[in-house]
A and B are shown apart, each in its own frame.
Chain A
Amino acid sequence: MIRHWPGALAAALVVALALGTLAAVALRAEGWTALQSADWAAVRFTLLQATLSALFSVGLALPVARALARRQFPGRRALVTLMGAPFILPVIVAVLGLLAVFGRNGLISHILGVFGLPPIHIYGLHGVVLAHVFFNLPLATRLILHGWLSIPGERFRLAASLGFGPRETFRLLELPMLRAVLPGAALVIFLICTTSFAVALALGGGPRATTVELAIYQAFRFEFDLGHAALLGLVQVAICATAAALARGASLPAEMGGGLDRAVQRWDAGATQLKLIDAIATCLAAAFLLTPLGAVVADGLAGITRLPGAVLWAAGRSLAVALAAAALTLALALPLAVFIHNAGRAGSALAETVAYLPVATSPLVIGVGLFIVIFPFADPVSLALPVTALVNAVMSLPFVMRAILPALTEAEAAYGRLADSLGMKGLTRLRIFLLPRLARPLGFATGLAAALSAGDLGVVALFVDPAEATLPLYLYQLMASYRMEEAAGAALVLLALSLGLFVAFDRGGRLGAQA
């Protein structure tokens, strides 16, 4: 009755890309003894920066989430939405914004200069951690806020009737929730930061601030040492897999941020002092997120008139890659979701594991693996853009699945029997029933995949001929050659491209979702 082969095919493709490339890398890798002291330094740095990033993100998110959980104020909804934005923000654009604020010639250095103090340095460990906190503080805030809002309002009412003060409320209601939520949030962020490439590329580097991903790139691109790159790839996979195993069960970023736009009424938090603390926390968080973005827009507008024509070509390539990646993600995600829904318990659990596998893999390792596989047959450089789209698609898969799988389950629960009784099968079922019912999450997921791909600076740096760069890579090249004005203009174009793609698809999905 239900055909399983499209889902099985999609699962096989994901496994081939995630694990098949790993096998190719393993076969090509040099022995473990070939690990040099610089490689061990990269391992140490990767773990250190990921640990610090996770701790700072979660620690700083705590007061922000608490304020959002217990205060209703104008702009609260906008702030919660803003907390979702960094997810689709191109890393390299954010780095440029952070440079404009925290860099040697940035806002803060200027202010320090007024008082005769020396400028601050952003490159190195603290710069990498700063950028990771910029990206993950919002994620941590959302995860913790979710935890806070999962405490039933009645419990706070009961606490108030029993005369609990802030201290008792914290100890008896909030602490148990935090104990359950914080470790998961920290582990997810740790996992994300272990595969950091673009941030380390732009703000790290040198023997003291190189992540394993960056070391893979350097071994591949500058030393032309495939065996060494492959060995580092295995190290990276070991780190990812361990972190993923630890973070298992902890949640991925929530799909639509639904349900976060209300605060719980509280009776224990009326003191002026607490209100002040909450106000400071939200203002600082908003400033921390908005100032770099504001700087990107302001500098970008100033530089937009001097954009080289190459920017447009790069933007065109990025657009093509993003659309291809989004289409591919859907082509993988839809059959997989249908398969997970219809297969027996064992098959469905296996397919779900496959769908979330990319969380625990490194895009650069997949890239190196694909290079090894493609090289005997074709020139990998000439296939750089299709390969980028493919890897982007696979990396977006877990987030897309998070968005569409619950919606599919819900649609099938409500209308599956009706469709069965009318004999809807295969493509007819997809066209008449599932696609229209899933229009909204599909639009969101497609927008997400397209935006992530448009802003991605990963595999593309590994393969591509600099003359054929996508916009993020071109932007990085401009930054690396200190052409900051042009970089600012290009960053604004990239920001508009990524956000525009997301908004266009998300809107389209909402319009397509009727009734």
Chain B
Amino acid sequence: MALRLEQLHLRLGDFTLDADFEVPARARVAVIGPSGAGKSTLLAAIAGFLKPESGRILWEGRDITALPPGKRPLSILFQDNNLFPHLTARQNAALGIRPSLRLSDEEWARVDTALARVGLAGLGDRRPAALSGGQQGRVALARMLLRRRSLMLLDEPFAALGPALKADMLDLVAEIVEAEGMTALLVSHDPEDARRFAPLTVVVAEGRAAPPAPTEALLGNPPPALAAYLGNGA
């Protein structure tokens, strides 16, 4: 088992969320549910931005609950502000190797390789403002590649992209996760994303994050809380 949430109890003001489940190694998991149900809160806790009220978070058997965000074996993409606007694409990606940006020539070459791999060869000197939304997402993915952390958390990073572009990005992420042997958690409010990206799905609703279940079966025969969210169209 790669990721284990052990009797995790989260609190944010009046809001609480409980989770107690495991995620298998190298799995791709969607986290879906109504807005405000706590999907992002769950990811924030795993990433180390929210201290749990009680319970533990384990990665490959090791307790990481007390580690600061930068020391956890994971990379995270947020809904926005994933790149520093004052740094070039190349510098932003290079932060994945070392945040001081003091890199050897060999390391800079690795940065360029990573950028090429996400389809940004030759665009390294541009700042985020000169890149499209999809290209900005690719820079962040290149940085993830360079960080070489085994867990990838995605908090709706492509929500602002159009449907076709979003599908492209999800395919790219899936390919990277597969090739690097990573585990990935993707927050989304769109069941289509889950179908496309994740064989497993966690439903967050009514103060609880349910254990991962096979996506197709879950969406085909949703439990009441999920059915209410999906409505008749699903």
**Chain A positions near chain B (C-beta within 8 angstroms):** 1, 414-415, 417-425, 428-429, 431-433, 436-437, 439, 513-515
Query: Which segment of B66-74, B173-181, B184-192 sits at the interface?
Result: B66-74
For A419, what are the chain B residues with a Cβ–Cβ distance below 8 Å?
A: 99
Against A, the Cβ 8 Å flags (1 = close, 0 = not) of B92-117 are 00011001110000000000000000
For A429, what are the chain B residues with a Cβ–Cβ distance below 8 Å?
A: 99
For A421, what are the chain B residues with a Cβ–Cβ distance below 8 Å?
A: 47-48, 69-70, 75-76
The residue on B at minimum CB distance from A431 is: B100
Nearest-neighbour CB distance to chain B for A235, whole angstroms, equals 50
Known: A421-B75, A428-B100. A415 touches B47 (CB 8 A): no
List which B202-233 residues lie within 8 A (CB) of chain A.
none
> How far is it, in angstroms, between the C-alpha of A515 and the C-alpha of B69 when the chains are bound?
26
Let me know if B137 is at the binding interface, CB within 8 A: no
The residue on B at minimum CB distance from A414 is: B81
Let me know if B85 is at the binding interface, CB within 8 A: yes
Nearest-neighbour CB distance to chain A for B26, whole angstroms, equals 22
**Contact between B127 and A422, CB atoms less than 8 A apart:** no
Known: A436-B86, A515-B129. A417 touches B78 (CB 8 A): yes
**Contact between B78 and A437, CB atoms less than 8 A apart:** no
> How far is it, in angstroms, between the C-alpha of A436 and the C-alpha of B101 when the chains are bound?
14
Partner pick for B86 among A422, A424, A514, CB 8 A cutoff:
A514
> How far is it, in angstroms, between the C-alpha of A433 and the C-alpha of B101 when the chains are bound?
11
Chain B interface mostly: loop
Let me know if B33 is at the binding interface, CB within 8 A: no
> How far is it, in angstroms, between the C-alpha of A381 and the C-alpha of B47 when the chains are bound?
57
> How far is it, in angstroms, between the C-alpha of A418 and the C-alpha of B128 when the chains are bound?
15
- Select the residue from A418, A419, A514 with max chain B CB neighbours within 10 A: A418
**Contact between A514 and B70, CB atoms less than 8 A apart:** no
**Contact between A420 and B68, CB atoms less than 8 A apart:** yes
The residue on A at minimum CB distance from B75 is: A421
Partner pick for B70 among A414, A420, A515, CB 8 A cutoff:
A420
Nearest-neighbour CB distance to chain B for A23, whole angstroms, equals 40
**Contact between A425 and B70, CB atoms less than 8 A apart:** yes
Known: A432-B87, A514-B86, A515-B127. A424 touches B70 (CB 8 A): yes
The residue on A at minimum CB distance from B130 is: A515
**Contact between B129 and A418, CB atoms less than 8 A apart:** no
For A418, what are the chain B residues with a Cβ–Cβ distance below 8 Å?
A: 78, 81-82, 84
For B127, what are the chain A residues with a Cβ–Cβ distance below 8 Å?
A: 514-515
**Interface size of B by Cβ–Cβ distance < 8 Å?**
25
> How far is it, in angstroms, between the C-alpha of A431 and the C-alpha of B95 when the chains are bound?
13
For A514, what are the chain B residues with a Cβ–Cβ distance below 8 Å?
A: 85-86, 127
Let me know if B15 is at the binding interface, CB within 8 A: no
- Select the residue from A421, A428, A515 with max chain B CB neighbours within 10 A: A421
For B85, what are the chain A residues with a Cβ–Cβ distance below 8 Å?
A: 514-515
**Contact between B49 and A417, CB atoms less than 8 A apart:** yes
Chain A interface mostly: helix
> How far is it, in angstroms, between the C-alpha of A425 and the C-alpha of B69 when the chains are bound?
11
Partner pick for B71 among A414, A423, A437, A513, CB 8 A cutoff:
A423
List which B113-138 residues lie within 8 A (CB) of chain A.
127-129
Nearest-neighbour CB distance to chain A for B46, whole angstroms, equals 11
> How far is it, in angstroms, between the C-alpha of A492 and the C-alpha of B48 when the chains are bound?
58
For A439, what are the chain B residues with a Cβ–Cβ distance below 8 Å?
A: 86
Known: A420-B69, A421-B70, A514-B127. A433 touches B75 (CB 8 A): no
Nearest-neighbour CB distance to chain B for A424, whole angstroms, equals 4
For B69, what are the chain A residues with a Cβ–Cβ distance below 8 Å?
A: 417, 420-421, 423
> How far is it, in angstroms, between the C-alpha of A249 and the C-alpha of B95 when the chains are bound?
42
**Contact between A423 and B70, CB atoms less than 8 A apart:** yes
> How far is it, in angstroms, between the C-alpha of A432 and the C-alpha of B85 when the chains are bound?
11
**Contact between A422 and B96, CB atoms less than 8 A apart:** yes
For B78, what are the chain A residues with a Cβ–Cβ distance below 8 Å?
A: 417-418
The residue on B at minimum CB distance from A514 is: B86
Nearest-neighbour CB distance to chain A for B81, whole angstroms, equals 5
For B76, what are the chain A residues with a Cβ–Cβ distance below 8 Å?
A: 421
> How far is it, in angstroms, between the C-alpha of A433 and the C-alpha of B99 when the chains are bound?
10
Nearest-neighbour CB distance to chain B for A65, whole angstroms, equals 36
**Contact between B81 and A415, CB atoms less than 8 A apart:** yes
Would you list the 6 A-B pairs with minimal beta carbon distance, nearest first? A423-B70, A515-B85, A436-B86, A420-B69, A424-B99, A428-B100
Nearest-neighbour CB distance to chain A for B74, whole angstroms, equals 8
The residue on B at minimum CB distance from A415 is: B81
The residue on B at minimum CB distance from A425 is: B70
Against A, the Cβ 8 Å flags (1 = close, 0 = not) of B13-36 are 000000000000000000000000
- Select the residue from A431, A437, A515 with max chain B CB neighbours within 10 A: A515
Nearest-neighbour CB distance to chain B for A501, whole angstroms, equals 25
> How far is it, in angstroms, between the C-alpha of A36 and the C-alpha of B84 when the chains are bound?
63
For A422, what are the chain B residues with a Cβ–Cβ distance below 8 Å?
A: 70, 95-96, 99, 147
For B100, what are the chain A residues with a Cβ–Cβ distance below 8 Å?
A: 428, 431-432
25 A/B residue pairs, CB under 8 Å, sorted by A: A415-B81, A418-B81, A418-B84, A420-B70, A421-B47, A421-B48, A421-B70, A421-B75, A421-B76, A422-B70, A423-B69, A423-B71, A423-B99, A424-B99, A428-B99, A432-B84, A432-B87, A432-B95, A433-B84, A436-B84, A436-B87, A437-B84, A514-B86, A515-B127, A515-B128
